[in-house]
Amino acid sequence: MSNINELKLAQDLIRFPSVTPKDAGAIKFLKKKLKVLGFRTTILEFKDKKSKPIKNLYARLGNKSPNICYAGHTDVVPPGNINDWTVDPFKAVVKKKYLIGRGANDMKSSIACFVAAVDKFLKGNHKFDGSISFLITGDEEGYAINGTKKVVEYLKRKREKIDFCIIGEPTNPNKLGEMIKIGRRGSLSGKIEILGIQGHVAYPQLLNNPINTLINICKKLKEKKLDNGNKNFQPSNLEFTRVFVKNKAHNVIPAKAEAQFNIRYNNLHTSNSLKKKINLVIKNLCKKNKCRYKVSYLENGDSFLTKPNKTILMARKIIKRITNINPKFSTTGGTSDARFIKKISPCLEFGLVNKTMHKIDECVSISDLKRLKDIYKNILIEYFK
């Protein structure tokens, strides 16, 4: 009989230095753990000419409906300067009742909690009526090209039905139990290139400085308020993340100036409606200043909202019972793989406290690990009643 401990499993997972796109053995290790519990497991490796190959895992226990799925990722962001850490980021050290390591918070510990929860659930409910599945990717922190997006396409081709999905992202700002994510803002990235006429700085009348036009475009786009938000979403926001001119000479007006930006937007927009607005501003100002331009976009998923259904309300009751906090429903924060999964299943996001994710000395409270495992186990019990 297996006896999976959430802390031990979290440490084991953290010890794989699986910085996107490297897997470092994490997916294979998790596959073995789930096989011991009786899961049918499939490693799905996707690649294309423009991106690195990524290992993903889909595992299922049971053949019947309903199928409740847990989704997460084993990849992590780089640790940064290792000398700034108080411990080795991939040694998974416990200090003062906290587990420290890259991925402790985002989100290997959550995966460990769900596996341990399934282990405990099966001991008392080995003949449960339905299925439990795992959808684990190694490409959530990167470009998400060969990760969950392609696994979802694979599941659709296989007619594999998921009835509800729990995504284990760290959702709580300060204390376990504060927040359930039931939607996310969309994300649209863009790059603007303005092409002018290069020449000697002393003769601006003979030239066309692309920097001037780019500054005007940035100013116009920042001044243009996208919306005021609504009851489910905060206002949409455009931020410039880079302005670049490849020119080291102080006496030359450059031929090209570039800027990149990202918009986090609510359900009052789509990526297409935003692109039309941005393109119009750029087109009008470039026409006025007689500049040529190029615009390219990277779509990271439209906004979405899952209306609280019976399962979401049940999960909130369990979280309140175990944490003594009534979690609020939210759509704040960045993007997650829920943007792909929502195409095939209703979902919620609930995991650990996100205060230290991506930081030096990323950590999680050991008592939170136990409580999260209990929350997940009780959700399984109630779901299959």
Q: Which of 119, 176, 172, 162 has its CA nearest to residue 338?
A: 162
User: What is the maximum alpha-carbon separation in the chain?
Assistant: 83
Q: Which residues of the chain does CATH 3.30.70.360 include?
A: 186-299
Question: pLDDT for 270-310, tens place per residue?
Answer: 999 999 999 999 999 999 999 999 999 998 888 999 999 99
Class of domain 6-184+303-383: alpha beta
Q: Give me the tens of pLDDT residue by residue for the chain, a chain 385 residues long.
A: 578 999 999 999 999 999 999 999 999 999 999 999 999 999 999 998 888 999 999 999 999 999 999 999 999 999 999 999 999 999 999 999 999 999 999 999 999 999 999 999 999 988 899 999 999 999 999 888 999 999 999 999 999 999 999 999 999 999 999 999 999 999 999 999 999 999 999 999 999 999 999 999 999 999 989 999 999 999 999 999 999 999 999 999 999 999 999 999 999 999 999 999 999 999 999 999 999 999 999 988 889 999 999 999 999 999 999 999 999 999 998 889 999 999 999 999 999 999 999 999 999 999 999 999 999 999 999 999 8
Give the separation between CA 268 and CA 274, rounded to whole angstroms. Answer: 10
pLDDT at 299: 85
Where do runs of H (alpha helix) occur along the chain? 6-14, 26-36, 108-124, 148-157, 210-223, 271-288, 310-323, 338-341, 366-383
Residues facing 330 on adjacent strands: 181
| Centroid of chain to Cα 96 | 29
Question: pLDDT for 303-351, tens place per residue?
Answer: 999 999 999 999 999 999 999 999 999 999 888 999 999 999 999 999 9
Give the separation between CA 293 and CA 352, rounded to whole angstroms. Answer: 44
Q: Which residues are catalytic?
A: 75, 140
186-299 has which CATH code? 3.30.70.360
CB atoms within 10 A of CB 233: 22
Residue-by-residue DSSP string for 57-88: EEEEE-SSSPEEEEEEE--B-----GGGSSS-
Residue-by-residue DSSP string for 101-125: STTTTTTHHHHHHHHHHHHHHHHH-
Q: Which of 14, 16, 33, 25 has its CA nearest to residue 116?
A: 33
Q: Which residues of the chain does CATH 3.40.630.10 include?
A: 6-184+303-383
